[in-house]
Structure 1
């Protein structure tokens, strides 16, 4: 400041009159004042961008802003109205330091509490449909292998067996009515507790049931020439069955497994024997035929006869005591 004055002659005293006015008579500007930092603390949530606004003031103009949002003394933003996202919930200190054009500064610090995120309902995962099956001819058993991620759960099952029939249980059984081998498209639709659904489809091949086996019918004929008998099986079996084995019992302790056997009996007198034929088919069914067979010993014959003149000498082979009748002619 430049001092100007006027001097006056006063006896014994010198008076100096000072004036604050410049030579040009203009009042100088007031001294610069520091800015005032200010801001409002907004409500903020974790992982959501939070907007901040400086309401700082200065007698001239705020030119710099330095925000520290987490109290680590490291500037996070340098604009007047920044945004900041907190990665964790909890209490923090926010500091805003403002400066003016002449470098004067001011800092304001306020606490802030970051709220945790609102609970979010888990996104439902649709179920996964699947099934296995086992068929015996036209009778099939189905087993669902469907699954649903927790906390979901499967609430309904909808089966379509491909022949117009359906079921609503998890593991059904189904019998098809067919006359020839047939393929069916089987589908399973599962729905979970939140209404999400999934579908599994497979081709199921079935064959008609095998008709029940008809047992064979045993039978035979026989012809005996004295003690030598021939047997012929007349046994039958209904197709597709076939006779697999023959078991003969000739009634004298001897047997045979041929279809048409012969057998010689050891008899000295006409004797009746109970002959049995058991036949078994390819599925194990059996039948038995029994008949009485009469066998006779062969007639006695002269053996080793010799003649000497009018004399004939014969040797007879007679196994047991018998009555012999001789007829002589000559």
Structure 2
């Protein structure tokens, strides 16, 4: 160099002597520095990955440093794995790749003098997806053995793939698209494992892939003979899917259904095992639905005329073993007897119904008697007409009347009178004469043509004439001075039971008006003012009166 301050690039290692010659144009001077510059040899970076260098994520690779040192010992290493992960500074290292791709790996080494060297291997590590397994069988359901299945392998992946099939019966194969024959009934899981050239491996397990089940339609039901409206229980004994036809339009796809028949008759039950499959099998059976029993009864009478009269209901049903009576208005109102006896405390029209159970347990519909029980109590009435004054001999006209149901009647012989003195009559309308004083009870009993009776009573008083008499003492005087005591001077005093005094005034008038009254036997009367008094005195015995 001929410049004052040169810069020199040494390209080869070695020890170098530097000479400087300076001149001012007339004279020169030289300085030599022997071994002044030392240039060290660079290290040689190199490495090797431990095979395999291709695989599936997560893929771990071991890297070994094989660098050669220059003039100094290598003291630093820096690894770049090509996936943007942090550098490694270990001499020998490993790295796990999580994503697929082709990765470039670099190593830089530095020795004790600071001399550096690096090396890079392009696409050194290959990380690929494992195979994606898909397969299919041409048939998965069989009804008998031996059964052969053709398997189609639809697996996708990179380059070369090897296969391992497991058929679930202890057999396996490495064929890509195998055919396998099953020799025993059962349900089998099929497994396929695929491995690519990088050792990436996938497995697909198809659970219950192959089903070989010999199907035999078989079922039972109970009870085998039932009544309309009763539940029947059906049981699938084929151990498969199934469908049912009950013969009355009803159906089910349940394994163990129930069904109710509402009509009597014989019905064909159709049972289909594994319906809609190649293994479908069908069987039929017949169930008998019995006729409902028919309730019927008779009544000893449909007309009740008093509350002690009973009605007996007689069951006329066939094959009945249990009875349930509903007796409207009756006592009792319900009964489980076969032939109950009932009374009716109240009038009205009442229905009776019967429900029976036969020896097979079938329950009838309720039967109601077309003719209701009519409860109508007859009544009797007494009407009589006689003189106002009940004095012997006392002649009375009696008239009998009453009410009864239109189902009944009272004929001419249905009337019976007693008059309280031993006298009787059997006419509806009759005259009777009382010749002896007394208080008499009249009784009329009517008897209808059906034997029902009604009784009514009345009373009558019949007396005899007595002799009325009046006794009083008055010496004269002024009004308001004294009270006057009036005495009954009548006979027979032991029989008289009625006294009626009336005192009439004649003052300043030609007509009478009452100034005092009394119902005592011996009254005391005060008179006020000047007057002339007329006394009326009535006595009576048992409604027979004298004045």
TM-score normalised by L of structure 1 = 0.43
The structure whose RCO (Cα within 8 Å, separation 6+) is larger is 1
Point out the structure with max Rg over C-alpha. 2
TM-score normalised by L of structure 2 = 0.28
